[in-house]
A and B are shown apart, each in its own frame.
Chain A
């Protein structure tokens, strides 16, 4: 059973702080990793993808991948109330397979 694990939260941070979201996955051979943001009542929106070990930065978002530890994280700098949402981690083992999603972590940013 291929699994993606996330802490369901809620993770509460004050405005302006760094939010750190974590995800672990079971299949060591996984190749592609994604973070989606889902606002309440809306559909998931892709915010980051990462394919190799290390950090990838896009604006206030940084994805970090450590394949040896089977761990992927998302850092949100200068958190804003508009960042309050559920963040879904998704993993793709290889081409020709579907994304496996975690249950998501709910983030609450207070002003």
Chain B
């Protein structure tokens, strides 16, 4: 495996379900991110983890719960979602949160549909 991998690629869930999105990066990076991409809107930052500590939480509803057990893995736990949460959820990594460059490398995304 290379780069950033996300599973599942597609997910359909009801509003009362609990599911999780998984992300793994194979780049040796120290920072990992969750972004949300909805139609006609810019990419929205949700969470940032640097060296397994959450450093940014962009006013995301509590029905989204991130987890970063180590610098290579990132999860997004989902529960009691709303139909407006349907979107493409993108995981990304960068070499360092505090580094001078900040280039992000994205996974393929998880397309979420909430019924």
Contacts and interface: CB of A to CB of B under 8 A. Distances in A.
A51 B33 CA distance: 22
A36 B13 CA distance: 30
Contact of B101 (A32, A42, A102): A32
Interface residues of A, number: 23
Contacts of B105: 46
A67 to B, nearest CB: 16
A92 B102 contact: yes
A103 B41 CA distance: 6
A68 interface: no
Nearest to A95: B98
Given A4-B42, A98-B48, A101-B42, A43 B108 contact: yes
B115 interface: no
Contact of B102 (A32, A42, A44): A32
Interface string A94-106: 0110111111100
Residue in A31, A92, A96 whose Cβ sees the most chain B Cβ within 10 Å: A96
Interface of A: 4, 31-32, 34, 42-46, 49, 51, 88, 90, 92, 95-96, 98-104
8 contacts: A4-B42, A42-B108, A44-B104, A95-B98, A95-B99, A99-B102, A99-B104, A101-B43
